[in-house]
Structure 1
C-alpha cells in the first residue's frame, strides 16, 4: 500500500492557482499517480512503460492506495474507481466518477467535445475507430483531430482513449505504450465476456460527475 500528498501550486490552471495533491495507486500496470485538488482531478500519470509481456493474462489483484481523510474527495473517488476498474470491473457502474478539473476539459474546443463524447458514449469493452469517434463528436471529417485529442488526454483510463483504435483493427499508439493499450483492451474484453456468460451487465460509467468550472 502506498499513499502520499504533495502540495503543489499549479500555474497552468489560470485565475486562482489550485493547491494540487497527489495520491499513488499501485495497479497491475505499475505505479500510477493521480493529481488533483478539491475541485477535481487534474491528471492521471500512467507508468512510464509497461513491463507486461505480450499476450500475458491480466493479473487478478491490485493494491489500492490507502484511504486518507486529508485527501480531496475527487482524488479518493478516482482511486476507488480505478481500483474497481482493475479488480472488480462490474462494480464501476455503481461508483461515482470524480469531478474533472483539467483546463482542457473546461475550455470550449473540439478536443473537449471529443474527450467528453468518448467518456460518455464509448462503454466498457467497446472500441471505436478515430473516424467513428469523430462522427460521434459531430465532425466526421476530423479523424486526425481526434488523434490529437487522444494524445492530449490528461485523464487516461477514466477517459478511455485506449478504446480508440485504427480502422484496420490495429490497436494503434498509446501514451502508456502499445502493450499497455493491448492489456487494457484485453482486460475489458475478458471481463465483458465473463459478465455475458454469467448473465450480468457490462459496467458503464456513472454519469453523476461533472467538470468543475
Structure 2
C-alpha cells in the first residue's frame, strides 16, 4: 500500500475569513456533519447516540452526502470520499488523498497539534495505542493527560483517529462521540484488518 502523506494545513492568507460550507454524510454510525471551505476541512462532528445502527459497513455502500451545499468545495468532497472508503473499502484509504485541514488548532504550533499529527502519521488502521505511548511518541513521556486533552479537542475525528487511543488497562476510555461509537470504530477496524490479512 502507498504510504500516506500528511495533509496540508492551509494558512489564513491576509487574515480573510473563509466561506464555510456544511454537508451531512450518512454513514453506518449515523449522520456525520462535515464543514470546510475551498481552502480546507474545518471539522467533522460525530453523532452522539445511545444506540448504534446494527449491520456492518457493507450495508452502507452508498455512504453519500445527503444535505448541505449543492456543490461542496473540493476539501468536503475529498473528506466524503475518504470517509466512504473508511467505512466500506478501508483498503483504499492509504491511496486516497486526505483533504487539506483548515482549522485554527491545526495551524498553531502546540503540543496538541504535535500529538494529533503524530497520531495521524504513526497509528495505522486497526492499531491502538495508549495515552502514555502516544505521549512518548509525541516527545513528552509525562504528558499522558495532555494527550487526553488533545484527543478531546480533535476537530477532525475518524480521519485523525483519536478513537485508536485507549487506556493503558486496555479499556477504550472516553470519546467525543461516546463510548459506543468508539467501540464500534475499534471493532470495525479490527474486523476489516482481519479480512485483509493474507
Q: CA RMSD in A?
A: 2.0
Q: How does 1:1-213 map to 2 (within 5 A)?
A: 15-52=15-52, 58-62=56-60, 63-65=63-65, 70-196=71-197, 199=198
1:132 CA drift (Å) = 0.3
TM-score using structure 1 length: 0.81
Question: Which stretches in structure 1 are left out of the alignment for 5+ residues?
Answer: 1-13, 200-213
1:57 CA drift (Å) = 5.7
1:61 match: secondary structure: helix
1:15 CA drift (Å) = 2.5
* Equivalent-residue separation in structure 2 for 1:50 and 1:102 (angstroms): 29
TM-score using structure 2 length: 0.87
1:19 match: secondary structure: coil
**Which of the two has greater helix per residue?**
2
Change (3 A) 1:57 1:35: same
1:72 CA drift (Å) = 1.0
Runs of 4+ with deviation above 6 angstroms: 66-69
1:48 CA drift (Å) = 2.3
Question: Which stretches in structure 2 are left out of the alignment for 5+ residues?
Answer: 1-13
Q: How many residues align?
A: 183
Q: Contact between 2:46 and 2:177, CA under 8 Å: does it hold in 1?
A: yes
